[in-house]
Amino acid sequence: MREHTLQVNHLQIAFRTGNGLVQAVRDISFRLEKGRTLAIVGESGSGKSVTSRAIMGLLAPNAVVEGGEILYKGKDLLKMSEKELCKLRGDKIAMIFQDPMSALDPIMPIGKQIAEAMVINGKLSPADAKNKALRLMEEVGIRNAKSRYGKYPFEFSGGMRQRIVIAIALAADPEILICDEPTTALDVTIQAQILELINKLKEERHLSVIFITHDLGVVANVADDIAVMYAGKIVERGTAEDIFYDPRHPYTWALLTAMPDLETTGKLQAIPGAPPNMLHPPAGDAFAPRNPYAMEIDFEEQPPMFEISPTHAAATWLLHPNAPKVALPKALAARIERMGQIGG
Amino acid sequence: MLEVRHFTQVFGKFKAVDDISFSVKKGEVFGLVGESGCGKTTTGRAIVGLQPVTEGKILFAGKPIRKKHPTTQIQMIFQDPMASLDGRMTVREIIAEGLRIKGIKDRKILDEKVYEMMALVGLSREQASRYPHEFSGGQRQRIGIARALIMEPKLLIADEPVSALDVSIQAQVINLLQDLKEKLGLTVLFIAHDLSVVKYFSDRIGVMYMGKLVELAESEELFQNPLHPYTKSLLSAVPIPDPRREKNRVRIPYEPACSDPAAAFREVTPGRWVMS
Ligand SMILES: Nc1ncnc2c1ncn2[C@@H]1O[C@H](COP(=O)(O)OP(=O)(O)OP(=O)(O)O)[C@@H](O)[C@H]1O
Ligand SMILES: Nc1ncnc2c1ncn2[C@@H]1O[C@H](COP(=O)(O)OP(=O)(O)OP(=O)(O)O)[C@@H](O)[C@H]1O
Ligand SMILES: [Mg+2]
Ligand SMILES: [Mg+2]
C-alpha cells in the first residue's frame, strides 16, 4: 500500500473580479504519494498554479476558497492559522517558481540566502547553518561551494541560479516540493541538469514532488503520476504509463496530438475553439464545445470520474457503459504505436 | 534576403556576440538555437536595427540596416509579450500603431486592417477594445504577432514566439506562421529553446554557443548528423514526450576544451558549416 503525504478533497477556489467571480478551481481531488512526482499538465488558465498556491497558503487576496480541504498529516491546511502555515512553508512544504531571479535577493550573497532560511526556521546556529548551506550547494551541483558562498546572484548563470533556489527550498528538509514551471526559461541542457537534480533528490530524500509544466517531454522525464486539468477540473489522472500510452479523455487526446516531437511532419493538430469563460462555467463537460466526440449529455451534465483501473480515472461520458465505442484519433494511435515499438 | 557578415556586439567589456556570419534566403525559415545567454536575442535586435552594431555588417536586400530609419519590412515578435505591449493602449491601438506611424490616418481603413489581422491570428473583433492584461499569455503573444504581421514584413524575427504557450496554442501559432510562409513567401528568423518545434519549422538551423556560431546545417541534416560537440550535447538533452524512451535517454555533457585559437567556422560540405 502506498503512503500518501498530501490529500486534496473537493477543492474549490474562485476569484473576485470587477465582472464577477472567476471559478478558477472547480472541485478537484487528488493525492500526492510519498517519494513520487505528480505532474500537473493542462490548458493555460486551467488552475494549475492556483492549486499549488492554495497548498502553499499563498493565494492572492481576492481569492475565495469556496470549499474542500487540503489534508496534510490529517490536518486541514485551509483551516490553519497564518502562523502555523508559515511554519509549515518554511519547514515541510517548499515551492520553486518559474523565474529564479525573482526568488532571490539580488543584493545578498547566495550562501547567506541559503543559510538564512535555516537560522530563521530551525534552531541551527549561524555556524552550523553555514556548514549545512555549503553541503546543500554541493548537493545541488554547485562546485567550489566555499569560494562561491559569498557571491551574488548576478554572478551566476540562469541554470546556476535555479539550483540556488532549489538549495534554498531544500534548506529546511521539506517533505513536499512544489515546482511551478521551474525550467521554462532555461535552455534544454540546463533544463536536463535541473530535472536530473530534482529526480535525484526525490530518490535520495524520498521527497514528494508536484511538478507543473506544459512541456510533455519534461513530464515524460519526471512524472510518476499525472493529473490533466481543463477549465478548473482534473479531467484525467493516472500513472505516466496510463496517460501517455492509454489516454481516455478527449482533451488528453488533443493535448498529446498537438505536441510536435522530433519525428513530426505535416500540419500540427491545434485544438479548435477557445476554453470557456470561467465567469460562467458550462453545466456539462467544459471541453464539450471543442470535443469532436461530444455527445448530448456532455453539454448538459458534468461527467463523474470513471475508474478505469485502480491507478487510472477520467471524467468523460465516453467511459459510461452505455456510451458508443469511440476509437482513438488515428494520428494519436499511430504515435502511441510508434512509442510502444521504440520503448518497451 | 538577409546577410549577416562578421557581426560582433559588445556591451561594455563583454562580447555578447563574437564575429558571426550567416545568410537567410527569401522564403526560408532559419532557426537559431543555443544556450541561454549565447546572443540570440542580441542578434535579432541588431537585425531590426534596435541597437547599433559594434562591428561587422548586416545587409537586408543588399542594403545595410540603418538604426535611424529602420525599415518596416523587417518586424520582430518579442520574447516577452507582456513587456513588449504597452499596457495603457487597447489592442486596436497596439496593432494599428505601425500603420499610423507609416502615415495611414483613415480610421476606417485602419480598423479594417486591424480586424483582418486579428482574425488571422484567431482573435475576435470584439476583443479589439480590451487591454493587454485582460488576455491570457497565449492571446498576448498573438497580439504581438498581429502587430508585426500588419506591416506586411518581408522578414520576420520571431524570438521565442511559442515558449510561453501551451501545446495547443503553440500549434496554432506555428500553423499560422507556416501558412504565411507558404502564402506570402515570408522569410523568418526563428529563435527558440524547444528543439522539436525548431526542427519541425526550420529549413536550416544555426547553433550558437557563447556568442559564436558553432554549426550551421539543413534542419534534417543537423539532427541526423550533428558534428560539433555542443550540438551533440544540445540534441541529446531534448526531452522526448514518451516516458519509456525518456527515462532511458542518455545525455551527452559538453565539456568545452580550452578555446582553440586556431578554430574557425569552416564549410565542411556545401552549405554545412562547423567550428573546428
Ligand atoms: N488574482 C486573480 N484574480 C483573478 N483571476 C485570477 C487570479 N489568479 C488567477 N486567476 C484566474 O484563475 C484561472 C487559473 O489560473 P492559473 O494561474 O492557475 O492557471 P494555470 O493553469 O497555472 O495557467 P498557465 O499554464 O498559463 O500558468 C485563470 O483563469 C486566471 O485568469
Ligand atoms: N543591453 C545589454 N547590456 C549588457 N549586456 C547585455 C545586454 N543585452 C544582452 N546582454 C548580455 O548579452 C548576452 C547575450 O544575451 P541575449 O539576450 O542575446 O541572449 P539569448 O541567446 O537571447 O538568451 P536567452 O535564450 O536566455 O533569451 C547575455 O550574457 C546578456 O546578459
Ligand atoms: Mg501557471
Ligand atoms: Mg533571448
| Each residue's pLDDT tens digit, B176-189 | 888 888 888 899 99
Among all bound ligands, the one having the nearest atom to the CA of B15 is 2
CA distance A217 to B46: 33
Interval B84-93: pLDDT, tens: 788 899 999 9
Sheet of A312-314, strand order: A93-96, A176-180, A208-212, A37-42, A225-230, A233-239, A312-314, A306-309
CA distance A39 to A211: 5
Give the pLDDT band of residue B69 (cuts 50, 70, 90): low
Looking at the complex, report in whole angstroms how far the Cα of residue B178 sits from the nearest Cα belonging to chain A: 9
Closest to A52 (Cα-Cα) out of A30, A82, A75, A21: A30
Task: Name the residue facing B168 among A184, A255, A342 (closest C-beta).
Answer: A255
CA distance A16 to A8: 23
Looking at the complex, report in whole angstroms how far the Cα of residue B109 sits from the nearest Cα belonging to chain A: 28
CA distance A161 to B210: 18
Q: How many Cβ atoms sit within 10 Å of the Cβ of residue B97?
A: 16
Give the pLDDT band of residue A343 (cuts 50, 70, 90): very low
Contact B200/A at CB under 8 A = yes
Q: Considering only A35-44, A129-138, A152-161, which range has the smallest mean pLDDT? A: A152-161
The answer to whether A177 and A94 have CB atoms below 8 angstroms apart is: yes
Which residues in chain B are contacts of A269 at CB distance < 8 A?
Answer: 171
Residue A314 identity? A
Q: Where does residue A325 fall: left (phi above 0), alpha (psi -120 to 50 degrees), or beta otherwise?
A: beta
With CA atoms as reference, the chain A residue closest to B223 would be: A262
Q: Is B2 exposed, middle or buried (0-12, 13-18, 19+ CB in 10 A)?
A: buried
Give the pLDDT band of residue B67 (cuts 50, 70, 90): low
- What is the percent of chain B where pLDDT is above 70? 94
Q: Considering only A233-237, A294-298, B60-64, B221-225, which range has the smallest mean pLDDT? A: B60-64
CA distance A208 to A307: 24
**Comparison of pLDDT for A159 and B39, the residue scoring more:** B39
Q: Considering only A81-85, B142-146, B169-173, which range has the smallest mean pLDDT? A: B169-173
First-to-last C-alpha distance (Å) of chain B = 27
Closest to A314 (Cα-Cα) out of A322, A305, A323: A305
Average pLDDT, chain B: 87
Query: B70: Cβ–Cβ under 8 A, 6 or more apart, which residues?
Result: B48, B49, B50
Average pLDDT of span A38-45: 90
Give the pLDDT band of residue A297 (cuts 50, 70, 90): very high
Interval B43-54: pLDDT, tens: 999 998 888 889
**Comparison of pLDDT for A102 and B253, the residue scoring more:** B253
Tell whether ligand 1 has an atom less than 6 A from the beta carbon of residue A278: yes
Give the pLDDT band of residue A100 (cuts 50, 70, 90): low
Grid-cell match 521565442, residue found: B160
* Residue A40 confidence (pLDDT) above 50: yes
Q: What is the per-residue pLDDT for A1? A: 52
Nearest CA to ligand 1 atom 7: A15
Which residues in chain B are contacts of A43 at CB distance < 8 A?
Answer: 166, 168
Q: Which of residues 166-185 of A touch B (CB under 8 A)?
A: 184-185
Which class would CATH give B2-72+194-275?
alpha beta
Task: Name the residue facing A244 among B137, B243, B254 (closest C-beta).
Answer: B243
CA distance B123 to A216: 26
- Cβ pair B175:A189 closer than 8 A: no
The answer to whether B203 and B188 have CB atoms below 8 angstroms apart is: no
Which residues in chain A are contacts of B238 at CB distance < 8 A?
Answer: 188, 217, 262
The answer to whether A261 and A272 have CB atoms below 8 angstroms apart is: no
Q: Output the pTM of the full model.
A: 0.86
* Residue B68 confidence (pLDDT) above 60: no
The answer to whether A100 and A165 have CB atoms below 8 angstroms apart is: yes
Task: Look at the alpha carbons of B271, A190, B248, A339 in this order and tell me if their dihedral is positive or negative.
Answer: negative
- Relative to beta strand A176-180, strand A93-96 is parallel
**Comparison of pLDDT for A267 and A147, the residue scoring more:** A147
Q: What is the per-residue pLDDT for A246? A: 96
In angstroms, what CA-CA distances link B61 with A68, B71, B183? Answer: 62, 11, 20
Q: What is the per-residue pLDDT for A344? A: 41
Q: What is the per-residue pLDDT for B101? A: 87
* Residue A91 confidence (pLDDT) above 90: no
- What is the percent of chain A where pLDDT is above 90? 51
Q: What is the per-residue pLDDT for A122? A: 67
Q: Considering only A178-192, A202-216, B15-29, B200-214, which range has the smallest mean pLDDT? A: A178-192
Q: Which of residues 35-94 of B touch A (CB under 8 A)?
A: 35-37
* Residue A98 confidence (pLDDT) above 80: no
The answer to whether A34 and A206 have CB atoms below 8 angstroms apart is: yes
Contact B136/A at CB under 8 A = yes
Average pLDDT of span A98-114: 83
Task: Name the residue facing A188 among B138, B193, B200 (closest C-beta).
Answer: B193
Q: How many Cβ atoms sit within 10 Å of the Cβ of residue B238?
A: 23
Average pLDDT of span B245-261: 81
Average pLDDT, chain A: 89
Tell whether ligand 1 has an atom less than 6 A from the beta carbon of residue A47: yes
The answer to whether A94 and A169 have CB atoms below 8 angstroms apart is: yes
Q: What is the per-residue pLDDT for B86? A: 87
Test the B interface: residue of A99, A218, A261 with most B CBs within 10 Å:
A261
First-to-last C-alpha distance (Å) of chain A = 26
Q: Which ipTM value was assigned to this complex?
A: 0.81
Q: B219: which 3 cell numbers? A: 534542419
